[in-house]
Structure 1
Amino acid sequence: MAVNNQKGFTLIEMMMALVIGAMITAATYATYSSQQKAYQTQDQVAEMQQNLRAALYLIIEEIQMAGYDPEDSGNFSVTSAMPGRIQFETDKDEDGDSADEDNVNDSKETIDLGLSRTFDANGDGIPDTDSDGDGVPDPVDIGIQTGGAGGFQDIAENIQAVEFLYLDSAGINLALAPPVDLSAIRSVQITILAIAERSDPKFINSMTYTTPSGQNWGPYNDNFRRRLLTTTIKCRNLGI
Structure 2
Amino acid sequence: MNSKNNNIGFTLVELIVAVAISGVIMTGIYSAFKTQQDSYLVQEQVAEVQQNIRASIDYMMRDLRMAGFDPTQSGNFSITDVRSRDLDNVLDVGGNPAITFTVDLNEDGTLDLNETISYSLYEYPVSTPADSDGISDLSLTQGGGGRQLLGESIIAMGLAYSYVGAGGDVVTDAGGNVIWAIDSDNDNDLDRDLDTNNDGVIDIADNPLGTALATDIDIENIVAIKIWLLAQTKARNQYFTENRTFVVANQRITPNDNNRHRLMETTVQCRNMGL
Deviations 1:205-240 (A, max 9, x none): 2221112x34211x2322222111111111112133
How far did residue 31 of structure 1 move?
Answer: 0.4
Letter in 2 for 1:196: T
Provide TM-score, normalisation by structure 1: 0.80
In structure 2, the CA distance between the partners of 1:179 and 1:153, relative to structure 1 (3 Å rule), is farther
Equivalent of residue 119 in structure 2, options 84, 107, 113: 113
1:210, 1:174 → 2: CA distance? Answer: 15
Provide TM-score, normalisation by structure 2: 0.71
Letter in 1 for 2:139: G
Judge conservation of contact 1:204–1:222 (CA < 8 Å) in 2.
yes
What does residue 100 of structure 2 align with?
Answer: 87
Letter in 1 for 2:270: C
1:179, 1:50 → 2: CA distance? Answer: 37
What does residue 5 of structure 1 align with?
Answer: 5
Residue 49 in 1 paired to residue 86 in 2? no
Residue 146 in 1 paired to residue 142 in 2? yes
- Percent identity at matched positions? 36
2:263, 2:217 → 1: CA distance? Answer: 25
What does residue 74 of structure 1 align with?
Answer: 75
Count residues with an aligned counterpart.
213
How far did residue 77 of structure 1 move?
Answer: 0.8
1:15, 1:115 → 2: CA distance? Answer: 62
In structure 2, the CA distance between the partners of 1:201 and 1:180, relative to structure 1 (3 Å rule), is farther
What does residue 262 of structure 2 align with?
Answer: 227
CA-based RMSD: 2.3
What does residue 130 of structure 1 align with?
Answer: none
How far did residue 180 of structure 1 move?
Answer: 4.5
Judge conservation of contact 1:160–1:193 (CA < 8 Å) in 2.
yes
How far did residue 2 of structure 1 move?
Answer: 4.8
Judge conservation of contact 1:48–1:195 (CA < 8 Å) in 2.
yes
Judge conservation of contact 2:158–2:250 (CA < 8 Å) in 1.
no
Judge conservation of contact 2:79–2:100 (CA < 8 Å) in 1.
yes
1:55, 1:81 → 2: CA distance? Answer: 19
SS class of match (1:27) = helix
1:179, 1:160 → 2: CA distance? Answer: 29
Unpaired segments of 5 or more residues in structure 2? 85-96, 125-133, 164-169, 172-177, 183-191, 193-212
How far did residue 158 of structure 1 move?
Answer: 1.1
1:193, 1:154 → 2: CA distance? Answer: 16
Unpaired segments of 5 or more residues in structure 1? 99-105, 120-137
1:70, 1:23 → 2: CA distance? Answer: 74
What does residue 160 of structure 1 align with?
Answer: 155
Letter in 1 for 2:242: N
In structure 2, the CA distance between the partners of 1:174 and 1:2, relative to structure 1 (3 Å rule), is closer
1:59, 1:89 → 2: CA distance? Answer: 14
Residue 22 in 1 paired to residue 28 in 2? no
What does residue 202 of structure 1 align with?
Answer: 239
Judge conservation of contact 1:48–1:194 (CA < 8 Å) in 2.
yes
1:49, 1:220 → 2: CA distance? Answer: 18
